[in-house]
Amino acid sequence: MAAYCRVSTDQLEQLSSYEAQVNYYTNYINGHPDYECAGIYADEGISGTNTKKREQFNKMIEDCKAGKIDMIITKSISRFARNTLDTLNYVRTLKELGIGVIFEKENINTLDSKGEVLLTILSSLAQDESRSISENSTWGIRRKFEQGKVVVNHKKFLGYDKDEEGNLIIDEKQAKIVRRIYKDYLDGKGSNRIARELEEEGVKGWNGKAKWYESTIRGILTNEKYKGDALLQKTYTIDYLTKKRVENNGEVPQYYVEESHPAIIDKEMWEAAQLEMERRRVFAETYGVFKLDYATLDNPFAGRVICGRCGSSFGRKTWHSTNENLKRKVWMCSNRYKIKGEKGCQNKHIDDKVLYQTFINTFNTIIENKDYFMEKWKDGLKSDNVLVRYRSKKFIKIIEKAEPIKEFDVNLFLRLIEKMTMFEGEKNIVSLLDGTEIEVIIEYIK
């Protein structure tokens, strides 16, 4: 005989009940001369509405199928499962194997002839009870939301922990990662590159794994909780049995609580990140760019080279040759061969080296006219636009003590440049992220 025990929360009083159940059935089976203990299976802190997440329960069923158990005893139907369908399915499966389930509280042995009829009725009542508990729990959570009390699963929330009273507190080690993500994004890096760099450095996320995704980075960048606010009830439960949650698009009330907990990111930086995200979205949509956030050390210009003739983006191609000295990376308008067999935009191709030199010349032009640009950015510090203020402050810091450069610097490029518009002649226009346009003359490589 085996016993199954379960409590549905990890509260102290419930855990005491859990331990009491385990001790009770251990003594009960071992103290009965006709029984041999096949094991005590116990799940703690797990809801009974669905059996999928109950590891010990599932192990017990597998052991039954393996012939290790011939009888199960449990406290009540609600301990076994509160889902009518699950209860009946498991009971019938076990019955076919010749295994009975004894429910002590209801005095039911499923191998008795009367057992299944009574079990069906009682299981239905247990399911109604579960629905009532779920509804009461939901009501309680929503009441907390209405009162501005923040309920957050901090275990899956990078940068935060909870104190003894259940209040959110900053986990400084993780908070450094969050601050880095915001800084890197506002320094021009894309979410894809940020994720790759974190992985390469072995930086661990909330789950202790050094595995990062673009979607994770975007989620961190858009989460208002990092500025100390909380939008409550972003999702809601539509099925109390499966616990399935869906996005809340107005079906149930939402509540916005300002300064509900300590902020990791100041409000200006957070708002600047939202504006930068929108700027990139509009830019990508305007120029048909799909890889704006995919710039790498090997290809820093991805999504940032624009055709001065038709306004489309340029893409990089490699011209192969058996002679390594003749192999070239060139950029061409994406509209050049848009329709197979038909010529499109006739803007000329550009050698990769031209783009590198274009930025070097642009940066040195800024340094040569430092006073002009410093005054321009000091004015930007007074702007009503938080992104303009943030960017002006950054630009001043970069240029203030900078000297002319001879080599390309990818980080400088990403921090300063929005796009490089290439024309048919030797004239190119480089647009800074603050909207300033600088004309650069470069001799094309033929």
3-state secondary structure 299-313: CCCCCCEEECCCCCE
Please list the ranges in the chain whose pLDDT falls under 50: 9-15, 48-49, 136-142, 145, 148, 239-241
User: For 261, which DSSP code?
Assistant: S
2, 20, 26 from 61: Cα distances, Å: 11, 23, 19
Nearest to 433 by CA among 397, 391, 384: 391
On whether both 22 and 61 belong to a single domain, the answer is yes
Distance CA 154, CA 141 (A): 16
Residue that is written with structure tokens 């590198």 in the block: 356
On whether both 53 and 133 belong to a single domain, the answer is yes
Boundary (domain end) residue, out of 274, 306, 332: 274
On whether both 227 and 361 belong to a single domain, the answer is no
On whether both 237 and 107 belong to a single domain, the answer is no
CATH number at residue 239: 3.90.1750.20
Residue 280 lies in a domain: no
29, 71, 152, 404, 411 from 102: Cα distances, Å: 13, 8, 39, 84, 69
- Please count the structural domains in the chain: 3
On whether both 42 and 161 belong to a single domain, the answer is no
On whether both 21 and 121 belong to a single domain, the answer is yes
On whether both 9 and 133 belong to a single domain, the answer is yes
Nearest to 3 by CA among 115, 86, 104: 104
Boundary (domain end) residue, out of 82, 106, 139: 139
- pLDDT tens digit sequence for 26-67: 888 888 888 888 989 988 765 544 555 688 899 999 999 999
Nearest to 369 by CA among 312, 439, 426, 314: 439
Q: Does pTM top 0.75 for this prediction?
A: no
Nearest to 304 by CA among 329, 286, 320, 277: 286
On whether both 215 and 190 belong to a single domain, the answer is yes
Nearest to 221 by CA among 293, 274, 292, 172: 274
On whether both 10 and 133 belong to a single domain, the answer is yes
Boundary (domain end) residue, out of 97, 114, 139: 139
Residue 38 lies in a domain: yes
pLDDT of residue 140: 46
Residue 287 lies in a domain: no
The domain of 186 spans 154-274
Read off φ and ψ for residue 23, nearest 5 degrees.
-65, -40
On whether both 268 and 330 belong to a single domain, the answer is no
Residue 69 lies in a domain: yes
* 396, burial (CB in 10 Å: exposed 0-12, middle 13-18, buried 19+): middle
Residue 285 lies in a domain: no
User: In sequence order, what DSSP letters do the residues of 281-334 get, joined into one string?
Assistant: HHHHHHHT-S-GGG--SS-TTTTTEEETTT-PBEEEEEE--SSGGG-EEEEEET
The full length of the chain comes to: 446
pLDDT of residue 47: 53
Residue 82 lies in a domain: yes
Residue 232 lies in a domain: yes
pLDDT of residue 445: 53
Q: Which helix (H) or strand (E) holds 129?
A: helix 115-146
On whether both 105 and 160 belong to a single domain, the answer is no
Residue 284 lies in a domain: no
On whether both 167 and 94 belong to a single domain, the answer is no
CATH number at residue 83: 3.40.50.1390
- pLDDT tens digit sequence for 111-137: 886 776 666 665 565 555 555 555 544
